[in-house]
Structure 1
């Protein structure tokens, strides 16, 4: 089995765990505060991880450059926007379906990867990605019914917010892969860890300034909520570390497509933690997502 596959599955599981903690934070913090928590509490762990990976580096070390910093900045800001939009969805949809709207990012990643990096995907992989997308749409349609969804919900605030979140996330992952590859060097762990640490530094600075201007007091409120925010930060760091490693060694479109398995974890969380019940169409959607993942992995 290729290394990126188990690393991506681990990233999806850990990201789902982080979202569970973030949903709990949303009860006491604003969207901005809940978003800030995943960055600021992940940063110390990312710095330690990067330092360790640089220390054990064998061969040519990564070489930071202006292009690398630019990609990290673009990816970091895009991820902030994606995370903020995703957290905001929770006030419109239940946990599982709200997350589903953002999953259009897999198809968007294919096109952005082609445009920015010149990386294409195989025909079989594209079929797998489209099958998974059908699963996502089935899940989304299930909540309100096909007719109502097609006539009104597609241009409603929840759907547009989710799609925008997917666009920002697609941009962030492509930029992160571009930044990591621009470093050069011989070790993908050193590349991935350094990219993650620099991106988090940029994100923490941007979010702190944003909160100071737009939501005074939220930064400190986030720090005071450390008992819930710290687990979100730790799980967020672990998820990000896995994502960055996977995206350094494999096409970002493949990684994000396999990452759709997160939605299966999301439904498990919805069922066991938030006591939400799934409809038959949602179960069909999960089956399609799993089928698409199998096609992708066996490409």
Structure 2
């Protein structure tokens, strides 16, 4: 199924993007690191859309208030989510920061059911729940080590990402275009909106950030490129399948994250992570078959 391939591509790319953002966050502000995600991704998304129209003819996009509302909401919410993720990077080690934000799949399932009429199968719900348990195990938070502020940040980050994903799916439907052109249009519009918002803010409040991003231009370019590839995967998968399923399968990103943490960031991985990884694998199988 296409959505599985797109989700795997997105998870792999996002693991690298998060690792690169984690490294840049050691030198730059939250807003700067967030902008690095979108800066070069916008022209890359435009090239991707042009390539799709060259490959396969499709109608032009017709704008409507519903589409613009979802685009605006998703754009702002993803900026907030990314900023919260960077704050988590600064508070804990890399793997824990990512783990705490992975409540996204469970929150997307609940919000999708309440507000968007999403219906998951029994196996699908079981997979989502197991994925949520796996996230808690992988976050490494024990009762003795529990920090309420960090937990709330993780939930807020996951909730913001969940809303972003749900609004992206609704925006794709609102385009009334065939796949994959619908997903590509939403991607370009969201990235364009985010780039303009953050660029305007940095120019006003943190003008020195532009010089910093230029100084780290190779890292910034790598973040933007991996972000664009990941977003193509996420937006495409969510145009084809329920967000909760996509995000639960997308938790295989943790496998890539832990590998990167060991190999590139030199972050040790606890032995208890084995159970969490096993649950994620089982959750992925359940949502693919559910």
| TM-score, normalised via structure 2 length | 0.95
C-alpha spacing 1:276/1:261, structure 2 compared with 1 (3 Å) = same
Give distance in 1, aligned partners of 2:284 and 2:228: 24
Query: In the alignment, what sits opposite 1:136?
Result: 135
C-alpha spacing 1:61/1:251, structure 2 compared with 1 (3 Å) = farther
Give distance in 1, aligned partners of 2:42 and 2:115: 27
Do 1:36 and 1:219's aligned partners in 2 also have CA atoms closer than 8 Å?
A: no
Q: Deviations over 1:20-59 (max 9, x none)?
A: 2112211221111011011011111011112222344435
| 1:172 and 2:168 correspond | no
Give distance in 2, aligned partners of 1:107 and 1:199: 24
Do 1:32 and 1:84's aligned partners in 2 also have CA atoms closer than 8 Å?
A: yes
Query: In the alignment, what sits opposite 2:269?
Result: 278
Moved over 3 A (4+): 54-62
Give distance in 1, aligned partners of 2:117 and 2:133: 26
Do 1:14 and 1:236's aligned partners in 2 also have CA atoms closer than 8 Å?
A: yes
| 1:147 and 2:173 correspond | no
Matches within 5 A, 1:6-17: 6-17=5-16
Secondary structure in structure 2 of the residue aligned to 1:212: helix
| 1:126 and 2:153 correspond | no
Query: In the alignment, what sits opposite 1:162?
Result: 154
Do 2:102 and 2:132's aligned partners in 1 also have CA atoms closer than 8 Å?
A: yes
Q: For structure 1, which segment, 114-123 or 200-209, has the greater mean C-alpha deviation from structure 2 after superposition?
A: 114-123
Give distance in 1, aligned partners of 2:48 and 2:63: 17
Query: In the alignment, what sits opposite 1:184?
Result: 176
Matches within 5 A, 1:227-266: 227-266=218-257
Q: CA deviation at 1:63?
A: 2.8
Aligned length: 290
Query: In the alignment, what sits opposite 1:208?
Result: 199
Give distance in 1, aligned partners of 2:195 and 2:115: 26
Give distance in 2, aligned partners of 1:213 and 1:61: 35
Do 2:100 and 2:151's aligned partners in 1 also have CA atoms closer than 8 Å?
A: yes
Q: For structure 1, which segment, 45-54 or 189-198, has the greater mean C-alpha deviation from structure 2 after superposition?
A: 45-54
Do 1:180 and 1:192's aligned partners in 2 also have CA atoms closer than 8 Å?
A: yes
Do 2:25 and 2:90's aligned partners in 1 also have CA atoms closer than 8 Å?
A: no
Query: In the alignment, what sits opposite 2:87?
Result: 88
| TM-score, normalised via structure 1 length | 0.92
Query: In the alignment, what sits opposite 1:99?
Result: 98
Give distance in 2, aligned partners of 1:47 and 1:285: 38
Q: Deviations over 1:120-166 (max 9, x none)?
A: 211110101101111111122x35xx3314xx42x1x2221111110
- Unpaired segments ≥5 residues, structure 2: none
Q: Deviations over 1:79-130 (max 9, x none)?
A: 0111111011111111111100001111110122223321121111010110
